[in-house]
Structure formats: structure tokens, C-alpha cells
Structure 1
């Protein structure tokens, strides 16, 4: 054995992959763990979605390899969804590429755009996969801070003072994970202007736009955005389908075609039943999102009560699937996380895993039934 690839040493195992082994071991030992750490929706997809899957699975002709670009009906459903939800017009045959989840899309995009030595602007705090994939392809992450008082605006003044000559892409994410910063059209216009000025590709990761938001936003709704931006989206959060692994990449045709060259060498198409289920989900009406909104609003109010019990502070204007809380002076995030896990059997996420700017924060997920959140509150009492 002559050793492993150097890239393996540049990353650690994903936090939740490792931590959940410990949590699951505690559950196996009989500990009554309440998991408020992971953002995996516990609610079921609409019945029309599962029926579409079942009906397709019963067809003997449905089990062969599928197109790398997805069936035309799926791309049309995505196009119609973008038109209704964001006011964005997309050509189904050229500007849409279905993907097996947006997380895989982060790898596809990085392999498409980045050479070893290229630099990447990454939000701090931010989704850890941006950094991990950046390192796996030999690029260098350059971290930028965001202003939570200004809807998550990047600190452009700080960024502009750096040498940006090697920066090729910039990851953005609104509503922002983990902080819930909502973003705005004004902010997205500023991002498009910045990207054009410095010839940087904007990659907008957009899975939370229908979770506790006043107005779903797409970067592609901004004039001239298609010149500099691509957008990843997902059915995981908005349609309660995280395990289905259905996402999409949208934007300019020539860039999409280059990503397809990478993707077509990494998978053999998405199971037809999953595609049919995705079509059913994308065709759901506004009542679907209204019901989700109501459920998550109720849960969030309870998580706020839990945070109050712990002396944590939070922004009630934040959006998305999480509550981002600052720890009180005199305590550390690690202390709070460990006390809750080992003394109260409540699992939450330390903010440090999202970057250095998260060191004084913890994150709660809303993916837990109300009675469980109430139980957590009672354990604090």
C-alpha cells in the first residue's frame, strides 16, 4: 500500500456523520435523546408525491438507465416552478440540469470551474461543504464575513481590500444557513454588480427559499444575473424529500453544458420514479407552502422559548429551517452543547462547525415535532 491521496488529509469527516454515531450510541443505551441538531425534515412529502413514485415503480419499463439531464417533463416542471415561485424564465432544454441533491451539485460545480490553486470566496459562518469540496479539488477558500444586521450582506469593503485576481467563484446562500439571514433583492443586485466587476462566478445555494420567508428569492430574478450566476436548488427542505436526493442547477446554457460534462461521468441518471415524484411535488399549489409555514412557525416559537430558558439571544426576523443563537457572556457554546447533550439529552449544533465567526453561537433545527420541543423545554425547567 503506497498511501492515500493527499486530498484526504485536507478534510475531516463531516461533523454530523461522526457526531451522530455518538448520539445513536446514546440512544442504543436507552438515553432519551431529542435531536434538535440536524436539518432533516421529519414531515412526509405530499401523498401525490409518493403515489407518483409507487405508480412508476410498478411499471416494468421504469427501471432502466435514465437521461443524465432528466426527463423533459421534470425539466419543464422545474421551469414552471421557477416562473411561479420566483418570476424567473428558464429554457427547460438548455438552462436546467436536474441533480441528485444540491450537495452533489457543489462538487460538480467545483470540479467544473476550479483548478488547483484557484481561490474561492466562502461565507463565514457557512455551510461546511463549501470549504471541504474546495479543499478536495485543490483550491483555496477565502473566507468573508456577513452582516446579520443587514440581511447577511457580505463585508464587501473588506473583500475589496484583498487581492481577488485568483478568485474564480463565490458561494452565496440566502436564506443563509446557519444564521437565517434572509438576503434581499437589493443585496443580490449588489452581489451581481460585484461579480461582474471582478469577473467572479456567483454560485447561489438556495434550498431554504420557501421556509419561513416573506418572499422567495432567486439570484436569477436580478437583471443581468444570468451573465455571472448559477443557482442550486433542492426539493429536500421545501417538499420534505431529503432522502430522495433531488436538486437542480439553473442558469446560462454554456455553463450548464460544462457541468453536464462532469456530471455525466459521475452518475447514470436519476431513477424514473423519483423524477415522477419530483414532478408531482413541483406542481403542488400554494396551500402546500402555507401548511409548511404554519408548522414551522409554531415550532420556531417553541424553540425561541427554549432559547430563552437557556439565556440565548436570536433574531426573530431570520428565515430558514434553523434558529441561530448567541451564547451569553460567561459561557461557551461547547459548554452549552455538552450540558444539553450529556445532562438533558438534547442534541444541538455548535456554531463553530460553520466557521470561526460561529464560535459564540449554537444552532437549533426546527425538524422535530412540537411535543418533543415542549419536552425539551420541560427538561430545562
Structure 2
């Protein structure tokens, strides 16, 4: 047996990878499982997007290797989208790098900027991949606390009192995953000021700005942000293209060049047809966003009813495609609670603890479930 790399000792298999095997096993046994745990959009992309990829199949060069930097038209579409939706002006030739999903960007950024032993500030609760990738590259995760009482925003004054001399990078995610909390202009400005003062690269992971959100913001819209910040974004949630794997990272030219050095050694460019579909998606009109919100709003009201049935509390103003709910006092632990629901009601809900210790006492419902199934789940409770 060949010994695996020591770095694998620092990480576990992704929670959903393991848990979904259990869920699939229950389905194979004939259990009528309703999956409310995963944020994988069940809706289809627009007809224009699907037509764009179909129409591209016979174009010259469609099936050849593509540029590591993506089609110029795709970068132009991303730049136009950011100007129209966020009021942010970026140079499509030097400040945008398309990605095969923003998740790969987490690895690319970490490999481009982190050395062994560098400190990385990671939100608790937050996306688990921040921690696992940090460990895989030999850097040191430093968790910073987020709490409901403070709107799931970090106490930057308390952070400033810590020894930050080895900290190289800070992950943030607003709108926040998993809670759906927003950060306003003032809060984003304080994060940029904190990063500038401490010479830290600030990375905002921003895939949820256009789901049930009336005021999308980009960290790059804050004065001085481009000097210290990158932003990841994705077409997965906004345009129902999760399986297409289309994302992007934006920032100043020097930072983008550093990430390109990594990316260009790890893939051979995004498939031409997918890029064409992405261009069509980014040109979607306001009716696309409003129709998407109508679906999710209706589903969310039903999910609130389930949370009420379970005596949970939640923030009706949170955005994104999840409902983050606090379990009643004296309840089971989050993981014991969701296991009880899974085996007694055949409903899978995500426990808050997979996002960090500060997720204890919380559960997360996904809105990527058809209304009929949500109503069925409500009836089961």
C-alpha cells in the first residue's frame, strides 16, 4: 500500500460527500427522502443560455483547447455585468480571470499567495473549503468568530488585538454563507481598512448577491479595495448553472497575474460552448432576476413555515438560497437533530456545525427544492 501524502492527514472528506452517500443508501432502500440540505439549483438556465451552447457546437475552434484567460467576449461580459450590477469598473484584459467554478479559485488563490506557515483568517461559521484548502497548502487556519448578535460580522477591533504578523490572507463571504447575512458599505469599508492596515489580502466570496437580495454589493466597489482585495463570483446560483462550472475572480492586474500562473498549470481552458452560454447568461435582463426571486420567495415562505413548526427562529431579511434557523433551547445538538429528522421523517437538513463550531444550535434549509416537496415535508412534520 503506497503511503498517501502527509497533507491528507490534515483534512477530512467533505461533509456532503460523506452524508450524501448515506442519503443515497436510504433512497436505495426505498426511503422517500426529501433533500433540503444541498444548495444545488433545481431550476434550469434560461432558454437563451441553452441555445447559446447548442449554437456554438459547429463554430470553428469550438472543440479545441481554449485560452487560459477565457474568451475576450466572456471577460467583456463579466466587466459589463460588474459595471451594470455593482457599479464597479474593471479592465477585462487584466483584472478578470474566468474560472471553472469559484471553488477552484479558492485553491488557485491559496496556492498563489500562501507559503507554509502563513496565517489565514477564516470565518466561523463559514464555507468549509476555506479551512481544508488552507491546510492542504500548508498554511495555518485562524478562525475568527461570527455571532448572530453582531449580525454575523467580525469584531475587527478584537481581531486587531491579536498577533497578525503572520497573517497573509482573510476570507470573507458577503452575503454570508451559510447565514445569508448582508454587509453594508460601511462594514465593507472597515474590512478594506483592516486589510490595508495589516497588509492582508482580503478575498470576498460573493455568489449569492442576486438571490432574494435588493442591494447587491461588491467589495471592489469600496475605495482602495483593488489594492488589497479580490472577489470571487459564480454563475452557479444566479443563473442555475452549477453543473456548468463557471466562476470568476476579479482584482488588480498583479494579483490576477499571480493566480493565472497557478491556473495555467492546472487546466487547459474552459470549454468554448460553456463560455458562450456564460456570455448569454451575463446579458440576462431584469426579468430573469425577478422571476428567479419569485420562485425562491414562494419557497422561502413555505420553508419558514417548516422552521416555525420546529420552533426555530430565523432572520426574514437574510438573502441567498438558504434559510438559516436557530434550534429551540434545550434541543438536541444540530447533528443529532438532523439525524433524527432524517431517519424519522426521511428529510435531510444540513446541520450548522459543518460550517464551524459557531454553527452549533443551528440548521440550514436549502431552497433548491420544488414547492410540492416542501409542502410534503411540512405535512410530515
* TM-score of the alignment, normalized to the shorter chain, above 0.5: yes
Change (3 A) 1:60 1:252: closer
Question: Shift of the alpha carbon at 1:44?
Answer: 0.2
Q: Is the CA contact (8 Å cut-off) linking 2:174 and 2:205 kept in structure 1? A: yes
Question: Shift of the alpha carbon at 1:40?
Answer: 0.3
- Cα distance in 1 for residues equivalent to 2:201 and 2:153: 17
Residue correspondences, number: 380
Greater CA deviation, 148-157 or 216-225? 148-157
- Cα distance in 2 for residues equivalent to 1:74 and 1:106: 21
Deviations 1:280-336 (A, max 9, x none): 000001111101111111111110100000111111111111111111112122232
Q: Is the CA contact (8 Å cut-off) linking 2:147 and 2:358 kept in structure 1? A: no
- Cα distance in 1 for residues equivalent to 2:363 and 2:116: 33
Partner in structure 2 of residue 352 of structure 1: 353
- Cα distance in 2 for residues equivalent to 1:52 and 1:238: 17
- Cα distance in 2 for residues equivalent to 1:292 and 1:58: 31
SS at match of 1:153: coil
| 1:170 is the counterpart of 2:195 | no
Question: Shift of the alpha carbon at 1:158?
Answer: 2.2
- Cα distance in 2 for residues equivalent to 1:119 and 1:45: 39
Q: Is the CA contact (8 Å cut-off) linking 2:15 and 2:354 kept in structure 1? A: yes
Gaps of 5+ in 2: none
Q: Is the CA contact (8 Å cut-off) linking 1:182 and 1:213 kept in structure 2? A: no
Partner in structure 2 of residue 120 of structure 1: 120
Partner in structure 2 of residue 92 of structure 1: 92
- Cα distance in 2 for residues equivalent to 1:124 and 1:152: 9
| 1:225 is the counterpart of 2:225 | yes
- Cα distance in 2 for residues equivalent to 1:32 and 1:57: 39
Greater CA deviation, 164-173 or 150-159? 150-159
Question: Shift of the alpha carbon at 1:59?
Answer: 3.5
SS at match of 1:316: coil
Q: Is the CA contact (8 Å cut-off) linking 2:146 and 2:358 kept in structure 1? A: no
Gaps of 5+ in 1: none
TM value normalised by structure 1: 0.98
Deviations 1:204-231 (A, max 9, x none): 0000010111201100011111011000
- Cα distance in 2 for residues equivalent to 1:262 and 1:302: 44
Partner in structure 2 of residue 210 of structure 1: 210
- Cα distance in 2 for residues equivalent to 1:271 and 1:142: 37
Superposed, which structure 2 residues align to 1:301-312 within 5 Å?
Answer: 301-312=301-312
Q: Is the CA contact (8 Å cut-off) linking 1:147 and 1:155 kept in structure 2? A: no
Question: Shift of the alpha carbon at 1:150?
Answer: 4.3
- Cα distance in 1 for residues equivalent to 2:149 and 2:375: 30
TM value normalised by structure 2: 0.98
User: Where has structure 1 moved over 6 Å in runs of 4 or more?
Assistant: none
Deviations 1:66-109 (A, max 9, x none): 00000100000000000000000011100000000000000000
| 1:156 is the counterpart of 2:156 | yes
Superposed, which structure 2 residues align to 1:1-381 within 5 Å?
Answer: 1-59=1-59, 61-332=61-332, 333-380=334-381
SS at match of 1:363: strand
- Cα distance in 2 for residues equivalent to 1:150 and 1:280: 39
SS at match of 2:314: coil
Aligned alpha-carbon RMSD (Å): 1.0
Question: Shift of the alpha carbon at 1:147?
Answer: 4.0
Change (3 A) 1:213 1:151: farther
